[in-house]
A = this chain, B = another copy of it.
Amino acid sequence: MRNILIIGAGRSATSLIQYLLDKSSGEDLFITIGDISEENAKKFTQGHPNAKGILLDVFDEKMRQEAIKESDLVISMLPARFHIEAAKDCLLFGKHLVTASYVSKEMQALDSEVKEKGLVFMNEIGVDPGIDHMSAMQVIDRIRDGGGKMLMFESFTGGLVAPESDDNLWHYKFTWNPRNVVIAGQGGAAEFIQEGTYKYIPYHRLFRRTEFLEIEGYGRFEAYANRNSLKYRSIYGLEDVLTLYRGTIRRVGFSKAWNIFVQLGMTDDSYSIPNSEDLSYREYVNLFLPYSPTDSVELKLRHNLKIDQDDLLWDKLLELDIFNHEKKIGIKNATPAQALQKILMDKWTLKPEDKDMIVMYHKFGYELNGQQKQIDSNMVLTGEDQTFTAMAKTVGLPVAIAALRILNKEITTPGVQIPINKEVYEPILEELKSYGIEFKEHFTKYLGYNPNNVGS
Give chain A's interface residues, CB within 8 Å of chain B. 188-189, 191, 194-195, 197-205, 208-209, 243, 263-265, 268, 270-271, 273-275, 282-283, 286-294, 296-297, 300, 304, 336, 448-450, 453-456
Residues from chain B with Cβ under 8 Å of A288 in the complex:
199-202
Min CB distance, A374 to chain B, in Å?
15
Q: Are A453 and B293 in contact (CB under 8 A)?
A: yes
Q: Are B265 and A189 in contact (CB under 8 A)?
A: yes
| CB-CB nearest 4 A-B residue pairs | A202-B265, A194-B291, A293-B450, A204-B204
Q: Are A268 and B202 in contact (CB under 8 A)?
A: yes
Residues from chain B with Cβ under 8 Å of A300 in the complex:
455
Of B189, B195, B275, B304, the contact of A198 (CB 8 Å cutoff):
B275
Min CB distance, A176 to chain B, in Å?
26
Of B275, B293, B449, B455, the contact of A297 (CB 8 Å cutoff):
B455
**Could you tell me the distance between the alpha carbons of A304 and B205 in the complex, rounded to whole angstroms?**
10
Q: Are A291 and B204 in contact (CB under 8 A)?
A: no
A-B contact pairs, 10 of them (CB 8 A): A189-B265, A200-B287, A200-B336, A203-B204, A205-B263, A286-B455, A289-B455, A291-B455, A292-B454, A293-B453
Q: Are B448 and A198 in contact (CB under 8 A)?
A: no
Q: Are A209 and B290 in contact (CB under 8 A)?
A: yes
Min CB distance, A67 to chain B, in Å?
42
Q: Are B455 and A283 in contact (CB under 8 A)?
A: yes
Min CB distance, A336 to chain B, in Å?
7
Q: Are A296 and B188 in contact (CB under 8 A)?
A: no
Min CB distance, A322 to chain B, in Å?
13
Q: Are B263 and A204 in contact (CB under 8 A)?
A: yes
Min CB distance, A283 to chain B, in Å?
7
Residues from chain B with Cβ under 8 Å of A275 in the complex:
198
Q: Are B197 and A286 in contact (CB under 8 A)?
A: yes
Min CB distance, A383 to chain B, in Å?
34
Of B194, B198, B205, B291, the contact of A199 (CB 8 Å cutoff):
B291
Q: Are B450 and A287 in contact (CB under 8 A)?
A: no
Chain B residue with Cβ nearest A285? B455
Residues from chain B with Cβ under 8 Å of A209 in the complex:
290
**Could you tell me the distance between the alpha carbons of A448 and B449 in the complex, rounded to whole angstroms?**
57
**Could you tell me the distance between the alpha carbons of A195 and B34 in the complex, rounded to whole angstroms?**
55
Q: Are A456 and B195 in contact (CB under 8 A)?
A: no
Q: Are A293 and B263 in contact (CB under 8 A)?
A: no
**Could you tell me the distance between the alpha carbons of A297 and B208 in the complex, rounded to whole angstroms?**
18
Residues from chain B with Cβ under 8 Å of A450 in the complex:
293-294
Min CB distance, A242 to chain B, in Å?
10
Residues from chain B with Cβ under 8 Å of A297 in the complex:
455-456
Min CB distance, A358 to chain B, in Å?
27
Residues from chain B with Cβ under 8 Å of A264 in the complex:
202, 205
Q: Are A449 and B293 in contact (CB under 8 A)?
A: yes
**Could you tell me the distance between the alpha carbons of A270 and B204 in the complex, rounded to whole angstroms?**
15
Apart from A194-B290, A291-B455: 8 A-B pairs, beta carbons within 8 A: A188-B270, A197-B286, A199-B291, A200-B271, A200-B287, A202-B264, A202-B268, A293-B449
Min CB distance, A285 to chain B, in Å?
8
**Could you tell me the distance between the alpha carbons of A88 and B334 in the complex, rounded to whole angstroms?**
40
Chain B residue with Cβ nearest A336? B200
Q: Of A200, A268, A273, A290, which is in contact with the most chain B CB atoms at under 10 Å from its CB?
A: A200
Chain B residue with Cβ nearest A448? B293
Q: A189-B271, A291-B194, A449-B293 are in contact. Are A282 and B455 (CB under 8 A)?
A: yes
**Could you tell me the distance between the alpha carbons of A287 and B197 in the complex, rounded to whole angstroms?**
7
Q: Are A199 and B455 in contact (CB under 8 A)?
A: no
Min CB distance, A194 to chain B, in Å?
4
Q: Are A198 and B265 in contact (CB under 8 A)?
A: no
Q: Are B191 and A271 in contact (CB under 8 A)?
A: yes
Q: Are B265 and A201 in contact (CB under 8 A)?
A: yes
Min CB distance, A442 to chain B, in Å?
23
**Could you tell me the distance between the alpha carbons of A287 and B450 in the complex, rounded to whole angstroms?**
17
**Could you tell me the distance between the alpha carbons of A143 and B454 in the complex, rounded to whole angstroms?**
63
**Could you tell me the distance between the alpha carbons of A449 and B455 in the complex, rounded to whole angstroms?**
52
Residues from chain B with Cβ under 8 Å of A194 in the complex:
290-291
**Could you tell me the distance between the alpha carbons of A453 and B294 in the complex, rounded to whole angstroms?**
6
Chain B residue with Cβ nearest A202? B265
**Could you tell me the distance between the alpha carbons of A188 and B270 in the complex, rounded to whole angstroms?**
7
